[in-house]
Chain A
Amino acid sequence: MRCFWNMTRISELIPVQNSFSHTSTLATMAPQETPFQIAIPAEQIALLRKKLELTVLPDELEDAGREYGASLSDIRRLVTRWKDGYDWRKHEAQLNTELPQFTTDIEIDGFGTLNVHYVHKRSDVVDAIPLLFVHGWPGSFLEVRHILPLLTESSPKHPSFHVVAFSLPGYGFSEAPKKKGFELTQYAELGNKLMTALGYNEYVTQDGCWGHLVSEYYHPNNRCKLRGEHSNAWHTNAPMAPPPHPISRPLLFLNHLIFGYTPKEKAGFERSLWFRNKGNGYYHEQSTQPQTLGYGLTDSPVGLLAWIYEKLVNWTDDYPWDDDEVLTWISIYWFSRAGPAASVRIYFEVNKAYPNLLEGATSKTTIPMGYSYFPKEIVKLPKRWLRAPNLVFESDHTSGGHFAAHEKPKELVDDLRKMFGKGGPAFGVVHGRSGYDPQSRL
């Protein structure tokens, strides 16, 4: 089954680092945080408007609905709004107010220094759990917006988190790599270096993709053990695993033959099949000819809008997108530091580096792992395919899709609180940072 690229469990692939003392950099702010405010130059806004004014729209077949792609009436309405009415400066100011942003230089082996943009918000709880939030495509650092206040808020009733949400290289306001070959290993290196630069020697991660499958299969076992020194646990809302197979997963295969699937599981299969048969065209183009695609995404606002909007609608669970919400999301891509074409190269690099990523990969991660299941995630597999010895937390939901942090912030955060809070299976997984104030640690 082909998979999509959203974002990986980047911290899974953190290469071997020098050992740090666990007690070293606990309480203080990390050195050298350079604050950042989004401030798109007026010329860029003016150029966008000029292009929008010249927009030429295609026709559409009668009764096409969403069957052939993003619907014409939606796109027409969004373009009109983007051109007249949508106020980027207002949203830019809101983002700057809500999301404390910074930039920092990170050196990546073989790729030189990249200037990385990130959101960083500390909880008032000194011993809050450091959490690295990793967005995917077509997402961005914006996806942390709804969960940020919930994660950092302090209460004796649940753990708190210090949150870092970085813009992957090539996204948001991070620089993009200039050389070929920047793949999962490099993203992992970057995530880890950022966290340690911020004084978070140990942390947990949250993301929405199939990082599971990019684990030990491609990295020697010793890395997994050593990785426990930095990333201590991870949580995802997009779990993946290979299917039952008589040779590689024999017990599961037997189970698959003998026991049927529940209606909910069957619905999940249908969703996965829909994605496979109708939903992953973007993946094939992005992983084979990203530059070709990039010209249209860079030159045409409506082209970029449609390419992303189709996923915002199809991958969510009837989320009632507000037009300005969509346009802010797309504008981040349009105004991104590296341009939208840079954001799709990751698919090519990963496909090239790991051509058989999904075939035969079995989870060999050992750090505690947690899954949140949302029904409209784009690949929905039966839970018994996903079970693993280190799967310590599972949570089922009756609504929600791929962009869980955006669609279901409260539910996602509740899951994280349960997994990492007192009595939870990953409580205390980060040494000295339980997520609670000392007096509530009873």
Chain B
Amino acid sequence: MSFIPGQPVTAVVQRIEICKLRQCDNLILGFSIGGGIDQDPGQNPFSEDKTDKGIYVTRVSKGGPAEAAGLMIGDKIMQVNGWDMTMVTHDQARKRLTKKNEDVVRLLVTRKSLEDAVRNAMV
């Protein structure tokens, strides 16, 4: 999932809709993110290309809304509610996901198995 500067990024994505859960005055989604353009991409265990500075799902809590919606660990988040997530800082990503006035977040995530499935289907 590396990018070539100047060329549009193409990926096979899955739409995931997560309803936020209200838990004592907090709206939580039930997963953790890692990555960002201000972080060290070499330490990301989920990325295939170690220069990829995108936002990755590092943990999905059991029984949470994210797991129920089908989010899997290691997914790369491409868009959140229409906002791009491939070139954001870690803090910007966190803010996009935790807006207090939104109850539902619609994510576009990609993972390796999606690409493989599409390729196998085309053969």
The answer on A and B forming one complex is no
A: residues with CB less than 8 A from B are none
